[in-house]
Each structure stands twice: as structure tokens, then as C-alpha cells.
Structure 1
Amino acid sequence: MLITMTAYVCPRCQVHAPADALTWCCPKCRGPWDLEFNSAPLSLKSLTSRVNSLWRYEEALPLATEIPHVTLGEGRTPLVPLTTPGTSALAAADTVMAKLDYLMPTLSFKDRGAVMLVELARRLTRGGGVRRVLADSSGNAGTAVAAYCARAGLDCVVYVPDGTSPKKLEQIRAHGARLTVVPGDREDTARAARAAADEPGTFYASHVYNPHFLHGTKTYVYELWEELGGRLPDSLVLPVGNGTLLLGAALAVAELHRHGLVDTRPALVAVQAEAVSPLAKAFHAGAEELSAPAAPRPTLAEGIAIPNPPRAHQILRAVRDTGGTFLTVTEDQIRAAQLDLARRGLFVESTGVACWAAVRAAPRPGLSVVPLCGAGAKTGLAAGAAAP
């Protein structure tokens, strides 16, 4: 049986803290936590009669022992082909499939991690030490945390940068969360939220600093493993800003391989917008860390425009360890990819099309899977993407 609470550990300093504490970062280096948690093996056969949400992978989840959990039926998103051999400009042996994570309850993949954070907050609230949940976001993560807090009956405040999509702001407000709009960019918003996170009685539902979020996003790969009959694709092509989906994927791949459930590990291919691509530059320079934050620049892929991701070292290492690489996409490629997907019946927000844009420009051999991470209804069609 898996334990309910586990321990935080700083990957740099090896400082530990109990996971039922409100210490949101390493007190020594102020860096993000990892989680000391050992998953257990599962079998495809055992999944046939389980709940139709990401909680079906209970052996792999650190908060799975208590039932019922907070849930909105998240997960189990469709996997559909975008290309098949011989039907596109891609090589005859190449196949690309898309996982439609924009069909989550709040219309983005961030539900995978938000449900874990709010489940943890719900348990801590019962102990009396938590009075509010705080999140910061460029839109989707804040929306997801707000929705799951509404489901759990928790007080929630979300910090967002000015310039956030009005449609995303409307969605956050509709869930009953209080909005704090911070002048400046995404980094300014993160700094303001981190300062507020130190206030007594605050649970910081950070999708960057709290590793429970990564243990939620790793279900993306567990679903692929189940949907593909116990195997994984040759390449997992993943958008990277703060790297929460890629690092979750790396966790899942490592767990499945350790338990003997897959023989080989897919390459992790990270995608950034060319306009804000500090990790891609560091990777191709052979660096293990960022030498300096990227200069903030406007991009259609606003959700991954992170100049200084706190988990940069972990992201770079995860990509290298799998023989993967970093790709960048231009604004024109993002516009074209969004319109291309829309003409295939898939209306995805501009950040969410980055991986398809990258694969169209630089096809991968074998089977590749790209996530379509957020719905187009959240932001609309990118300027200049309309048909002539």
C-alpha cells in the first residue's frame, strides 16, 4: 500500500522537509522541491475496471490512498493520428499522433497537475493550518487550480500578469477565485506570488516548485503506455517553458522502465518558441545550467515564454539522458501550425500548437506523439493565421 504523505527533498542541497508542511521551497537555496516517492508496478489487465480518470494509476501517484479524491474526471484524453505513413510530406516510415489534452475539464493539460496540488491542499486544510490556496500563472495553471479549488471548496487566489487573455481571466473568476493582476511579465508575477506564499496559512499551489504537480503530469505518459498497449512512442515531443510536462514525462518513463514495463525509453524532444528559448540555447551550447535569463520578448506561445525556469538543470539533464534534443519554432510556424490543425478539426491555442509546428519543420523517425495542450477557445486564432 502506498503511503499518503511523502517527503520533499531539494535536488541540489539534499535538504528534507515533510510533505505536510507549508514550506514551498528549499530553505537553503530557495529552489524547487523534488518528492521522495517510490511508485509500484501496475499491469494493463488491472486497469480495465478502474475509475475513468488519472486516479486509475494509483500505484504511481503519491496521494492515491485516500478515497474519494478531488476529481473532475480529468485525464483519459483521446490519442488520434495526425499523419500516417505515406500520407504526408513526412518520410514514409514516420507517424505522428496527437494527444488531445485540451479536452480536459478546464481545457488544458494543467488539470493533470492541479488536481494533485488541490488534493494535497484539501488534506492539509483539514489539519487547520491552511486558510487559502495561492497560485501564479499566465492563465491555464491558474484556471485549473481555481476550478479544482472550487470543486474542493477551498479559498483560492490567482496571480496573473497583465496582458493575460481576457477569456482566461473570465474563466478564473467564474470558478470563484480572486484575481491579483501584476504589472509586468510572467517573471514579475512569479516574484509577487512567491512573496505572498510566505504569508501564514497559505498553501502555494505552484506548478513549478511543488513536485506533486509533476506526479500529476506524468499520467500523460502512463495514458500513452496504456493506449499503445504497453509500449511508448519513439519520441515524446513536448513544449517546454517551466518544463512541467516534460519533467513529468521523464518521471513516468523512468518508472515504467524501472518496473520492466517498457524495454526502451523514448527520446524527449523539447520545443521552445524561438523568441524566448533560453533552454534550447543552453542545450545546444552544451551547458548544464542557464548562464543568464533570456530577455523577455513577445511570442504567440506565451505559455512557454519563461526566461528563467527554476528547474532548468533538471530539464536539460532529462533531455540529454534520453538522447533527445531541443527544437525552436518561429512565430510564422506557430501561426501556420494553428491554422493547419484547425483545418484538421482541432482548434488549439497558439502555445499548444508549438510541438506540431516543430514536427512539421523537423520530422522525427518512427512514431512521435505531440500534446495539444490548450483549447483555442481560450485565446482565439493567432493574428495573421487566418486564411487569405
Structure 2
Amino acid sequence: MTPKTIYRCPVDGTSEPTESLTWHCPACGGPWDLDFAPTSPVPLDSLAGRVNSLWRYEEALPLRNPPFTDSPPTITLGEGRTPLVPLTDTVSAKLDFLMPTLSFKDRGAVMLAELARRLGPDRVTRVIADSSGNAGTAIAAYCARAGLPCTVYVPEATSPKKTEQIRAHGAQLNLVPGDRETTARAARAAADELGTFYASHVYNPHFLHGTKTYVYELWEDLGGRLPDSIVVPVGNGTLLLGASLAVTELHTQGLIDERPALIAVQAEAVSPLAAAFHAGADDLTGLTTPARPTLAEGIAIPNPPRARQILRAVRESGGTFLTVTEDQIRAAQLDLAARGLFVESTGVACWAATAASPPPPGRTAVVPLCGAGAKTGVAPTAP
């Protein structure tokens, strides 16, 4: 019998069933991991005939495995299967800004909405989320699809275009005075209320198992292989940790021979993980890095809860951290727009880093273009 999937704390081993609404480890307060591994490989040769969404990788998704095997997923907006297009001879871009809500966060949001739906209205009376904009928009949209009441907490300085999108999906919007950390604390204070499902893209690992489909799509599109390096923006690390999960699964199943390097990108203005990595630290504890305003608002996270996991994943892959300046972000956004790709300022960070530090000759890389430019407009120039 296949064992049931459970939440497990990566720090102290505390566990809870995935049917639980406990959103963090009750012992240490940290985020959960999911005690899950695919029991059979994703069959590359038969994918063409499957549903054209991320649910096509059913063998790799926890919501298609115990304890949920008798309940096929019903929530979808056709997310995933985004185009892969060349930027140079060695660098390609995956256009995740073409997702239904115009950002890659749909990959994880669909998993959380499906999980909340399955827990049922007797247990889940509302869904809450906190975000700098894109994750909140995605959660609001997929809760609307699932018929779930939703409240989204965002910093009061969030782009009006993102807050308008959240409201349009019918979610209650709470504008929180202060920064991203203050917003997260406000949402977590509400998360323990009876009947609340905390759709946290940071604390709930189902989100990471949604973002890992980014790499499964690369593997499928490249005919059963991966590029030499996968470049990802890192704030809370949800795309990077999802990529790490997918690479491990594909390698363990014998579906790839070599593991690609994970190249993590942060804005120089808010780069605590890059500083810790280059200092040889395993965590952010004891390190102080000043944070300044940045155009890359989506990755401006001074204290990511999964910092230790992010640093370990990059090191174990043989990758590194790169940082980009505000001028590089502006230039990269305009460069992509000149190539026909209008991407928000956070979403261009990886192209800015790769353009400055291209892969060695004969090596390939893929960058994600994570959010649409329509969400924030063109990055302003310095006065």
C-alpha cells in the first residue's frame, strides 16, 4: 500500500496529516515540507495525449496520490505549458507571464485551491493569503474558480494594477501599512482562526509541488533532458525550491543523467541570501544585510522562512547566487520589450543577470519571465 502523504517539519521531524489546517510546525513555527515522492516515473512518450495543464504530470503531483487518489482534481484554468523561446544561441526564456493570471504563481495557487476544495466547506470557511501582489492575485483567481471565499493581505504600496486584479476576482483585499514582512505577520495572525485555510505560498509545501512543474515542462519540451543551468529569481524561493524538487525527482527516477546548476538571482538592493551564500553561511542567522527600495518588488524579501533550504539547494546543485542593480533591471526590461516580450520589473531580473554573466561557451541556460509587464508598467528611470 502506498503511504499517505503527510506534512513534516524539516527541522525537528514533527508531522501532521495533510488534512490538517495547521499551517506551520507547532514545535518550531517553521514551514512544512511534504513527505512525498513519486512512486512511478512520468512517462514522456505518453504525455502528448494528456490534459494540457500542469495536471498532466499526475505521477509527480501529491494531489493525485494518497490520501487523495479517489478524488481527481477539478480546479484548473489551463495553467502551465508555457512557451519556451530562444533569446540567444545558448539562453532560452520560458514565458510564464502567459499564465491565466499573468504570473508563474498560478502553478502553486492551483494546488492550494484544489487542496482547500477537497478539505470541504465544513472545515474550510475561508482562505487567506499574503503577497506582494502576484501570489495574491493567483490565489484570488483560483479561489474564485473553486467557489471559495478569499481574503488577500498585501502591502499598501502594492501596484494598483495588481490590487485591481485581486478585487476583480472577488477577494477581500486588506491593504497593510508597512512592508512585506509586516503584511505576512498580519496574515499569520489571522491564519489560526477557526475554519481558516492559510494558502501560504511560503509555508504550505503543496505550492512548491506546483512550481516544480516548471522544470517538468522544460524536461518535456527539451525531449527528456534539461539545460545545463536553470536561472531563477529568489525572494521566498518558491520557484527555486520547486525546481530543486523536480530535478531530484527526475534524477532519482532515472529520467535525466545530469543535474543542472541552479542559478539564483536577487536584486542587489535586497539580497540577504546572496550575501549569506557568498559568506559561506548555512542560514541568515546572525547576518545583517541592509534592504533598500527595489524595482523587483516580488523578490524583495529580507528574511525568507526557507532560507536554509534555499542555500542548501543552490550549493548542492553546484550553482551560485547573482545580484542585479536597479539600472540592470531597467535595461533588461527595455531589452526584452524590444524583443517583443513585455515583462514586469521583477520578472526581468534573471535576464539581467544572465546578460551580464552568460553561460560558458557550449553551455545552455533557461530563464523564466515570471510576470507580465501589464502588472506594473515600465520601470521608472532615476530622476
Query: How far apart are the structure 2 equivalents of 1:120 and 1:255?
Result: 22
Say which SS state the counterpart of residue 135 (structure 1) adopts: strand
- Are the aligned partners of 1:293 and 1:307 in contact in 2 as well (CA < 8 Å)? no
The structural deviation recorded for 1:177 is 0.1
The answer to whether 1:49 aligns with 2:38 is no
Say which SS state the counterpart of residue 109 (structure 1) adopts: coil
2:342 to 319, 341, 347: 347
1:302 maps to what in 2?
Answer: 297
Instruction: Provide the aligned length of Structure 1 versus Structure 2.
Output: 374
- Are the aligned partners of 2:63 and 2:73 in contact in 1 as well (CA < 8 Å)? no
Paired letter, 1:52: N
2:182 maps to what in 1?
Answer: 188
2:112 to 95, 99, 117: 117
**Any residues of structure 2 matched to 1:1-388 within 5 Å, and which?**
6-39=5-38, 40-64=40-64, 65=69, 66-84=71-89, 95-126=90-121, 128-290=122-284, 291-292=286-287, 294-365=289-360, 366-384=363-381
Paired letter, 2:97: Y
- Are the aligned partners of 2:143 and 2:150 in contact in 1 as well (CA < 8 Å)? yes
Describe the superposition over 1:232-285 as per-residue Cα deviations: whole angstroms up to 9, x where unpaired. Answer: 000000000000000000000000000000000000000000000000000000
Query: How far apart are the structure 2 equivalents of 1:298 and 1:254?
Result: 35
The structural deviation recorded for 1:2 is 7.0
Paired letter, 1:136: D
Q: What stretches of structure 1 of length at least 5 have no aligned partner?
A: 85-94
Name the Cα RMSD after superposition.
1.3
Query: How far apart are the structure 2 equivalents of 1:309 and 1:136?
Result: 14
The structural deviation recorded for 1:68 is 4.2
Query: How far apart are the structure 1 equivalents of 2:41 and 2:208?
Result: 18
Paired letter, 1:138: S
Say which SS state the counterpart of residue 57 (structure 1) adopts: helix
Paired letter, 2:300: A
Query: How far apart are the structure 2 equivalents of 1:304 and 1:274?
Result: 11
User: Identical aligned pairs, as a percentage?
Assistant: 77
TM-score, normalized by length of structure 1? 0.95
Paired letter, 2:80: G
Query: How far apart are the structure 2 equivalents of 1:358 and 1:292?
Result: 24
TM-score, normalized by length of structure 2? 0.96
Query: How far apart are the structure 1 equivalents of 2:337 and 2:46?
Result: 37
Query: How far apart are the structure 2 equivalents of 1:68 and 1:112?
Result: 14
Query: How far apart are the structure 2 equivalents of 1:139 and 1:293?
Result: 26
Paired letter, 1:371: P
The structural deviation recorded for 1:293 is 5.5
Query: How far apart are the structure 2 equivalents of 1:344 and 1:166?
Result: 26
The structural deviation recorded for 1:53 is 0.1
Query: How far apart are the structure 2 equivalents of 1:38 and 1:97?
Result: 29
